[in-house]
Chain A
Amino acid sequence: MNAIQFDATQFGAMLPMGVLSATIVAVMLGIAVRRCHRVTAALSMLGAALALVCALPIWLGGTGPVVVTPLLTIDPQAGFYMLLVLAAVLGVLALCPAYFAGYAGDREEIYLLILLGGLGGLTLAGASHAATLFIGIELLSLPMVAGVAYAIHDRRALEGGVKYLALSAGASATLLFGLALIYAGIGRLDLGALAAALAGAGADTPLVLMGGAMLIAGLAFKLSLAPFHQWTPDVYEAAPAPVAASLATVVKVGVFAVVLRLLHAGGGTAAAPFVNVLVVLALASILIGSVLALRQDNLKRLLAYSSITHFGFLLIILVAPGAGTSAVAAIYLLTYVVTALGVFGAIALASSPAGARDRELLGDYRGLFQQRPWVVAALTLMLVSLAGIPVTAGFIGKFSVLVLGVAAGQWLLVGGLLVGSAIGLFYYLRVIGALYAAPPSGSPAPVATGATVAVRWSAGAVMVLLAVLLTLAIGVYPEPLLQLLRP
């Protein structure tokens, strides 16, 4: 083979990844030369923002797919998921300065980890080969292991990190084995061929069936779909709020981008056995996620279950054929990312500067409204959006998926969505009720003092404000967005 040659279009398509990689190197060198929290934060955000700008033309350009080596294909869909990943990375980064301001250990490496995870997300968005898929997934997960265990001296963080590491490695191994089996069956490793094999699998291709099942299991672990979800609440609870936000947004968007390419290539669905598996996964995620969230008193665990439920909803897209479905996936993921960033942002703001433990128990939030009305107002709106009630972006996302489900005649999943939403309202409102309740009498927490804490402007506050505005804007007038995402 010849040496790989780049022309201008290919270079443009690679630019976001290039910029982000350069940022990572710069941040790493910066830390090595001299530790400075502010400079590191600013440099990381600048780099991510620059990469975001570079990704815009890929999405909006509307040109056909640009093949950059057999490993990467950058098309507008990849451009969109790159944008989404980068926006999520930027949002997560914005939370860090205020959150880690009071952190006793080294504060700079967290930026590096989050950026590395983002690079993994970008790789997955453009992946067109099993090798890139695997590299992307590992690049996405491994930094998160370190991120979860960032407060390394805290037993809980360490435990969460180890748990995530061990289970994640197991899932990656399953995924790899699945890829190997399919390779044994069809002798090819590019995603197009894999997707075609998965779409045409049947009793005559046992290797593909087997491999596909293992592949789905591995991916389902990363998306924390039931019954591969057990790690999620523990890890979310152990992780610092920004890392949890990253797990809920960057990781899931990146993985879902590649899932769409594998199981939903060109608007088709996978073969019937896989579709049945996906239906079961979706129903199990919706029901288990929402039922386990019901009596949950820890907000971060509750959000973990909520994300399980949300990705259960999202699976409806994979079993509904049709060209319009990827647009619906894009809408749903966008509204989900905005909302999840807002929710974790509000939690991070309420916990900043971080002490030994995030403010995460419902009891910690009782009566917080008296003390931090703006943060609580934002948190309320985001929870309402997660519940999918009109005037918020969450409703538009849920509505789009529901329209799709009804049109595809997936009544079972549509029913599951309705049940999940109804239960969802119950636990979201429990949290909201606690936020506005009278503070517990005689509590030692500063909450009881009742003094309003002034809003301190930080990057995180700006991010949450943006999320709030975007949530309302999408909720009230989604038409421009729908037009943009239309294939």
Chain B
Amino acid sequence: MVLVWLILIPLLGALLAWLGGRWSSACAQGIALVAMLASLALSLWLWRNGDYSLTGAGFTASLGVLPQWAFEFRADWIQSLGISFHLGLDGLSLLMVVLTNLLGAVAVCCGTRDAGTRPGLFYFNLLWNLGSVIGVFLALDMFLFFFCWEMMLVPMYFLIARWGQDAPGGRRREAAALKFAVYTQSSGLLLLLAILALVFFHQQATGVLSFDYHDLLNTPLRRDVAWLVMLGFWIAFAVKMPVVPLHTWLADAHCCAPAAGSVDLAGLLLKTGAYGLLRFGIPYFPEVAHELAPVAMWLGVLGVVYGAVLAFAQTDLKRLVAYSGISHMGFVLIGLYAGTEQALQGVVVQMIAHGLSAAALFMLCGEIQARLQTRELGAMGGLWATMPALPPLLLFFALASLGLPGLGNFVGEFLILLGTFSVAPLVTVVAALGLVLAVAYALIMVQKTLHGAPHRVGTLAALDTPTLGLIAVLGLLLVGLGLYPQPVIDLARPSVQAVQHLYAAGGAAGAGVAADAALDTEAVTTGAPQ
């Protein structure tokens, strides 16, 4: 039941904040903040009181053993279609939920400037989105997962279209929001179709109509069918991550979104894609995932390099940060398909680290824009002289972004590269070059904003204390993650090991099938070892 509250608190907070908006902006924000903090406290309580060593032991689905969850909740929902309200929490979900609540609270605090004339509705959309994201991280029923997945869409559309800003260069915010929505929705429909196909083939094989994660693991699929179904999942998750050929919505959405929306988008929505691959995309189809791995890893490399090059070329501060996100998520994709335990650990750390650093960078972008009324790098410069407090922070997070040792992003990228080297040395080498490019875009950002001659005389307003505090918290967490990532790694280990076992078993089975293929082209590939 406690898991239901994790979702319900933000959703109820959303409704209350909407009502609260009738009185004042501060009231709505207060309600929203209280809701997110309550949810954060609840998730931290779960961290303290749960036994997160379970999943790995039981999740060797190849042996026919079901996953175990530290906390699980199941209630009937739509029995006639085999759909239940099934939630489960393991170390991986917990980390993501804590991150969501933390960044959610940060995003709510960012809202002061953006909420505008309808603060109630602004916080309603923000919290509704956050509640859905938590739902995505907890759902163990594919219908419920899709339900939450789609629920994220409309609030985010509104955040961009209603409270965003028209970007320079004639990009209208409605158009950017629409682009985001259409990309997400069309890939979401593919996801729905893939889910239905999986459920249907599962029903054909076993006679049981079920949308449950536990039931659908180990669904025997013909190889060609498995490919098609997996691609449905993969494309949906790849759009959200985003993987390079499908990334074009991201920069537009970011540069038109309000600061709170950007924090939410970069910190959380992108992570739902990676989480989806980790939880569903790979475990459902370990063998075909193996076959896809070379392509996926090279797409990851492409993302790393291309994102970094584009980031370097941007003249708009927010677009620069957005493209750097594509570069970072490229590492995540590489790590996911390398599939070794180290690489997957790196993926988890990288997701958290990028969530924290991107959130902070987007907040800083918002602060700079509020003072200079522009995000054009050409119109900046010299901030170090004209503004207290902000420049060192920007430098700090830029360094985090380029992967400075001692900060979280370094641990993530290092683990990913280390874990990938044994599997795909060439990929690792080229991806490591991406780190050099990261230095280039991070430093050009620092250089163009902070150094040089100031464009205007007189000092700018300092950061207010709450913002400073928030950014400091993010910074400290990043340092903590960089210096002592062990708690995170320990927490995620069982879940990561489970995925790694499945993936390795899939690789072995896939190789076996390839050998058998000469004898029997109609080989039915199943998750069970032969």
**Contact A414:B78 (CB < 8 A) given known A422-B186, A425-B182, A426-B178:** no
CB distance from A207 to the nearest CB of B (A): 39
Contact A433 B174 (CB under 8 A): yes
Which residues from A are CB-within-8-Å of B81?
403, 482
**Contact A422:B200 (CB < 8 A) given known A384-B154, A390-B147, A390-B150:** no
Contact A425 B78 (CB under 8 A): no
CB < 8 Å neighbour of A406 from B78, B79, B158, B200: B200
Contact A418 B151 (CB under 8 A): no
CB < 8 Å neighbour of B189 from A418, A430, A478, A486: A418
**Contact A482:B161 (CB < 8 A) given known A389-B150, A391-B151, A406-B193:** no
**Contact A433:B77 (CB < 8 A) given known A391-B151, A421-B189, A425-B182:** no
Which residues from A are CB-within-8-Å of B178?
426, 429-430, 433
CB < 8 Å neighbour of B192 from A384, A402, A429, A477: A402
Q: How far is the CA of A255 from the CA of B182 in the complex (A)?
A: 33
Chain B residues at the A interface, C-beta cutoff of 8 Å: 76-81, 146-148, 150-151, 153-154, 157-158, 161-162, 174, 177-178, 181-182, 185-186, 189-190, 192-193, 196-197, 200
Q: How far is the CA of A436 from the CA of B192 in the complex (A)?
A: 29
Chain A residues at the B interface, C-beta cutoff of 8 Å: 384, 389-391, 395, 399, 402-403, 406-407, 414, 418, 421-422, 425-426, 429-430, 432-433, 436-437, 477-479, 482-483, 486
Contact B157 A479 (CB under 8 A): no
Q: A418-B193, A433-B177, A479-B77 provided; 6 other pairs, C-beta below 8 A?
A: A390-B150, A391-B151, A403-B81, A406-B197, A477-B77, A478-B78
Q: How far is the CA of A164 from the CA of B471 in the complex (A)?
A: 65
B76, B157, B158, B196 interface centre (most CB from chain A within 10 Å): B196
Which residues from A are CB-within-8-Å of B146?
390
Which residues from B are CB-within-8-Å of A436?
158, 161-162
A391, A422, A429 interface centre (most CB from chain B within 10 Å): A429
Contact B80 A486 (CB under 8 A): yes
Which residues from A are CB-within-8-Å of B200?
406-407
If over half of A's interface residues share one DSSP class (helix, strand or loop), that class is named, otherwise mixed; here it is helix
Instruction: Offer 11 A-B interface pairs, CB within 8 angstroms, sorted by A.
Output: A389-B150, A390-B147, A390-B150, A406-B196, A414-B193, A418-B192, A421-B189, A425-B186, A433-B174, A433-B177, A436-B162
CB distance from B200 to the nearest CB of A (A): 5
Which residues from B are CB-within-8-Å of A429?
157, 177-178, 181-182
Which residues from A are CB-within-8-Å of B157?
429, 432
Q: How far is the CA of A479 from the CA of B77 in the complex (A)?
A: 7
Contact A433 B161 (CB under 8 A): yes
Contact A390 B151 (CB under 8 A): yes
Which residues from A are CB-within-8-Å of B79?
479
Q: How far is the CA of A389 from the CA of B181 in the complex (A)?
A: 11
Which residues from B are CB-within-8-Å of A391?
147, 151
Which residues from A are CB-within-8-Å of B161?
433, 436-437
User: Looking across the interface, which residue of chain B has its beta carbon closest to that of A406?
Assistant: B196
Q: How far is the CA of A391 from the CA of B131 in the complex (A)?
A: 13
Contact B80 A418 (CB under 8 A): no
Which residues from A are CB-within-8-Å of B148?
390
**Contact A403:B162 (CB < 8 A) given known A389-B150, A421-B189, A422-B185:** no
Which residues from B are CB-within-8-Å of A425?
181-182, 185-186
Q: How far is the CA of A15 from the CA of B229 in the complex (A)?
A: 51
CB distance from B370 to the nearest CB of A (A): 20
Q: How far is the CA of A229 from the CA of B76 in the complex (A)?
A: 42
Which residues from B are CB-within-8-Å of A432?
157
Which residues from B are CB-within-8-Å of A414?
193
CB distance from B256 to the nearest CB of A (A): 12
CB distance from A294 to the nearest CB of B (A): 11
Which residues from A are CB-within-8-Å of B80?
479, 482-483, 486
CB distance from A455 to the nearest CB of B (A): 14
Q: How far is the CA of A402 from the CA of B143 in the complex (A)?
A: 13
Q: How far is the CA of A72 from the CA of B76 in the complex (A)?
A: 41
CB distance from B452 to the nearest CB of A (A): 37
Which residues from B are CB-within-8-Å of A486?
80
Which residues from A are CB-within-8-Å of B77?
477, 479
Q: How far is the CA of A403 from the CA of B78 in the complex (A)?
A: 14
The 5 A-B pairs at the shortest CB distance, nearest first, are namely: A422-B186, A433-B174, A406-B196, A418-B189, A390-B147
Q: How far is the CA of A313 from the CA of B350 in the complex (A)?
A: 43
Which residues from A are CB-within-8-Å of B150?
389-390, 395
**Contact A426:B151 (CB < 8 A) given known A406-B197, A418-B193:** no
CB distance from A429 to the nearest CB of B (A): 5
Which residues from B are CB-within-8-Å of A478?
78
**Contact A426:B182 (CB < 8 A) given known A403-B81, A406-B197, A418-B189:** yes
Which residues from A are CB-within-8-Å of B153?
389
User: Looking across the interface, which residue of chain B has its beta carbon closest to that of A387?
Assistant: B185
CB < 8 Å neighbour of A418 from B147, B182, B190: B190
Q: How far is the CA of A200 from the CA of B158 in the complex (A)?
A: 52
Which residues from B are CB-within-8-Å of A399?
192
Which residues from B are CB-within-8-Å of A430?
178
Contact A422 B154 (CB under 8 A): no
Q: How far is the CA of A105 from the CA of B241 in the complex (A)?
A: 59
CB distance from A37 to the nearest CB of B (A): 36
Q: How far is the CA of A389 from the CA of B193 in the complex (A)?
A: 14
Which residues from B are CB-within-8-Å of A418?
186, 189-190, 192-193
Q: How far is the CA of A391 from the CA of B144 in the complex (A)?
A: 11
Which residues from B are CB-within-8-Å of A406?
193, 196-197, 200
CB distance from A148 to the nearest CB of B (A): 33
CB distance from A359 to the nearest CB of B (A): 20
Q: How far is the CA of A429 from the CA of B161 in the complex (A)?
A: 10
User: Looking across the interface, which residue of chain A has its beta carbon closest to that of B149?
Assistant: A390
Contact B78 A402 (CB under 8 A): no
CB distance from A405 to the nearest CB of B (A): 8
CB distance from A104 to the nearest CB of B (A): 37
User: Looking across the interface, which residue of chain B has its beta carbon closest to that of A370?
Assistant: B117
Which residues from A are CB-within-8-Å of B186?
418, 422, 425
A395, A418, A425 interface centre (most CB from chain B within 10 Å): A425
Which residues from A are CB-within-8-Å of B196?
402-403, 406
Q: How far is the CA of A432 from the CA of B157 in the complex (A)?
A: 10
Q: How far is the CA of A436 from the CA of B189 in the complex (A)?
A: 26
Q: How far is the CA of A177 from the CA of B189 in the complex (A)?
A: 42
CB distance from A482 to the nearest CB of B (A): 5
Which residues from A are CB-within-8-Å of B177?
429, 433
Q: How far is the CA of A478 from the CA of B76 in the complex (A)?
A: 12
User: Looking across the interface, which residue of chain B has its beta carbon closest to that of A479?
Assistant: B78
User: Looking across the interface, which residue of chain B has its beta carbon closest to that of A434?
Assistant: B174
CB distance from A165 to the nearest CB of B (A): 39
CB distance from A472 to the nearest CB of B (A): 12
Q: How far is the CA of A390 from the CA of B153 in the complex (A)?
A: 10
Q: How far is the CA of A425 from the CA of B158 in the complex (A)?
A: 14
CB distance from B151 to the nearest CB of A (A): 6
Q: How far is the CA of A431 from the CA of B192 in the complex (A)?
A: 25
Contact A402 B181 (CB under 8 A): no
Which residues from B are CB-within-8-Å of A483?
80
Q: How far is the CA of A477 from the CA of B83 in the complex (A)?
A: 11
A395, A414, A422, A482 interface centre (most CB from chain B within 10 Å): A422
Q: How far is the CA of A433 from the CA of B173 in the complex (A)?
A: 10
Q: How far is the CA of A477 from the CA of B185 in the complex (A)?
A: 22
Q: How far is the CA of A486 from the CA of B178 in the complex (A)?
A: 38
Which residues from B are CB-within-8-Å of A433?
161, 174, 177-178
Which residues from B are CB-within-8-Å of A477?
77
